């Protein structure tokens, strides 16, 4: 039986996505012991790394705002967990208040920084008079405004309005209609190969001309398709970066093994973050 941790509290997009993910994946749904909310992504991933929870469900990137940096950074700091599934979930942001009111009456807006970023145009054009306050999650923002009778608003999912007895003042306020977030399920063992897989790597190389090109060239000459490459500060030295790379294929395939062996020979550090089945856009209605 699994204990699955997620970014909470109840009513967050992470919980909403997790519920939908479980509904479509009986191999996990049928073996759940408890769903456990965490108030930060690092706490959740480190708890999974220390085997305090069996699995962790976290956001990795958004189609509007890009990478969730704290997820990527924390994955780089763990050593006993792997990405075992990915799930793409459509995100509709709503403006929530404790009762109906005009937009001009709203004095503060609470939400997660990613949610505020996804609704930047709406906020700047219709709520530029309101103070923006960042919370650890959209659900925390909803819970906060539900606890007071102030002219405050939260940006979050409809589910949060239902759970915290809030009024959904405006729906679908995100800048991009096709707004989606890629979530990952993290566990302690690699997923078995399916034949339609993706591998995620964390690569660190020296800060010198052509160093990244020489890494990418190893994939190119073996006809391995790169589906994502993101850089993050190494947090060790100013100007030093690590690269998160997603490629098509399973880690134990001959071509990817050749790349990893060649990088090792060149003294390039490559950490395996996971090999897992690809999520396809037609599995989720956008």
> Do 6 and 86 have their domain in common?
yes
Tokens, residue 127: 């709520």
> Do 120 and 139 have their domain in common?
yes
> Do 122 and 109 have their domain in common?
yes
Tokens, residue 81: 């967990």
pLDDT given at position 281: 56
Q: The domain containing residue 12 runs over which residues?
A: 2-90+181-188
Choose one of 125, 160, 188: the last residue of a domain: 188
> HEC string of the chain?
CEEEEEECCCCCHHHHHHHHHHHCCHHHHCCEEEEEEECCHHHHHHHHHCCCCCEEEEEEEECCCEECHHHHHHHHHCCCCEEEEEEEEECCCEEEECCCCCHHHCCEEEEEHHHHHHCHHHHHHHCCCCEEEEECCHHHHHHHHHCCCCCEEEEECHHHHHHCCCEEEECCCCCCCCCEEEEEEEECCCCCCCCCEEEEEEEECCCCCCHHHHHHHHHHCCCCCEEEEEEEECCCCCCCEEEEEEEECCCCCHHHHHHHHHHHHCCCEEEEEEEEECCCHHHCCC
pLDDT given at position 204: 86
Which regions in the chain score pLDDT beneath 50? 282-286
Choose one of 159, 188, 217: the last residue of a domain: 188
**Cα–Cα distance for residue pair 17/23, rounded to 1 Å:** 10
> Do 57 and 75 have their domain in common?
yes
pLDDT given at position 11: 86
Assigned domain for 286 exists: no
> Do 33 and 78 have their domain in common?
yes
Assigned domain for 176 exists: no
Distances (CA, A) of 244 to 20, 183, 204: 27, 16, 9
Assigned domain for 79 exists: yes
> Do 162 and 143 have their domain in common?
yes
CATH number assigned to the domain comprising residue 218: 3.30.70.260
> Do 75 and 140 have their domain in common?
no
Assigned domain for 175 exists: no
Choose one of 188, 220, 236: the last residue of a domain: 188
pLDDT given at position 125: 96
Length of the chain counted residue by residue: 286
Domains identified in the chain, total number:
3
Assigned domain for 98 exists: yes
> Do 116 and 66 have their domain in common?
no
CATH number assigned to the domain comprising residue 156: 3.40.190.10
**Cα–Cα distance for residue pair 262/195, rounded to 1 Å:** 24
Assigned domain for 270 exists: yes
Assigned domain for 239 exists: yes
């Amino acid at each position: 039986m699994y204990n699955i941790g997620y970014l909470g509290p109840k009513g967050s997009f992470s919980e909403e996505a997790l519920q939908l993910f479980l509904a479509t994946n009986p191999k996990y749904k049928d073996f759940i012991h408890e769903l456990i909310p965490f108030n930060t992504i690092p706490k959740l991933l480190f708890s999974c790394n220390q085997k305090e929870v069996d699995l962790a469900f976290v956001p990795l990137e958004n189609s509007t705002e890009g990478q969730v940096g704290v997820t990527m950074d924390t994955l780089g700091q763990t050593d006993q967990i792997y990405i075992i599934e990915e799930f793409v979930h459509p995100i509709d942001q709503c403006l929530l208040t404790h009762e109906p009111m005009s937009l001009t009456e709203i004095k503060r807006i609470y939400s997660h920084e990613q949610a505020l970023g996804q609704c930047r145009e709406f906020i700047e054009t219709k709520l530029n008079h309101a103070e923006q306050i960042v919370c650890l999650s959209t659900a925390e923002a909803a819970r906060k405004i539900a606890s007071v009778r102030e002219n405050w608003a939260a940006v979050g999912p409809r589910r949060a309005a239902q759970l915290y007895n809030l009024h959904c003042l405006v729906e679908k306020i995100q800048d991009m209609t096709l707004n989606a977030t890629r979530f990952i399920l993290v566990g302690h063992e690699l997923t078995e190969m399916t034949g339609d897989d993706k591998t995620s790597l964390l690569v660190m190389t020296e800060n010198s001309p052509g160093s990244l090109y020489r890494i990418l060239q190893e994939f190119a000459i073996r006809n391995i398709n790169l589906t994502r490459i993101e850089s993050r500060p190494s947090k060790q030295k100013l100007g030093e970066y690590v690269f998160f790379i997603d490629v098509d294929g399973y880690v134990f395939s001959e071509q990817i093994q050749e790349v990893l062996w060649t990088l090792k020979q060149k003294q390039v550090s490559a950490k395996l973050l996971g090999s897992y089945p690809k999520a396809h856009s037609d599995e989720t209605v956008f």
